[in-house]
Amino acid sequence: MIKVLFVCLGNICRSPMAEGLFRDLIEKRDLADRVHIDSAGTHGYHIGAPPDERARQTMARHGVDIGAFEGRKVDVVDLDQFDYVLAMDRSNLRDLERLGGGSRPHVRLFLEFARASAEREVPDPYYGGPDGFEHVYALLEDAAAGLLADIEQRLNQP
Ligand code: 4NP
């Protein structure tokens, strides 16, 4: 089982969108029994809360229901238990490095997997309008394709 954790600040906008989008992709590839996907926030503001309404609506427009997700805070054990710990921005990455006592190769920016976009951070859409959420979706979709290729390569290794 390959385990993927998406991490943002609040776990109600970017990382649950990434989780929903990537799970949908993994299910369509028939890999759901080989890849475990989760998301978490670096801060505990929204523990137990559902995703932001705008995040839910954006994902619903793209055919993915994330309404049942519940916010949780990242834990130091996640850094050992997940094969990929993917931060949405550099601030999240710094928080993860502080939590784990240093940088580790599997803890990295999700957009390092992006191909079409040169952006390396998913901007926080929380204080903006709906356009911000569509932009987040486009960045996540780009990086998800690159991550899928990386995981498929790993699964096909002897
Ligand atoms: P997220 O967005 O990190 O993408 O989930 C945010 C959600 C909540 C807050 C900030 C960012 N907040 O300050 O409550």
Instruction: Please write the tens of the pLDDT for every residue from 2-37.
Output: 999 999 999 999 999 999 999 999 999 999 999 999
Phi, psi of 112 (to 5 degrees): -60, -20
Cα(124) to centroid of ligand 1, in Å? 7
Does the CB atom of residue 45 touch ligand 1 within 6 A?
yes
CATH number at residue 69: 3.40.50.2300
Q: What's residue 150's pLDDT?
A: 98
Q: Is 90 exposed, middle or buried (0-12, 13-18, 19+ CB in 10 A)?
A: exposed
Does the CB atom of residue 126 touch ligand 1 within 6 A?
yes
Q: What's residue 158's pLDDT?
A: 83
Q: What's residue 22's pLDDT?
A: 98
Which stretches in the chain have pLDDT values below 50? none
Q: How many domains does the chain have?
A: 1
Domain region containing 11: 2-155
Helix, strand and coil in the chain, % to nearest 5: 45, 15, 40
Does the CB atom of residue 138 touch ligand 1 within 6 A?
no
Cα(132) to centroid of ligand 1, in Å? 13
* DSSP 8-class letter at 108: E
Give the residue numbers annotated as catalytic, written as ranges.
8, 14, 124
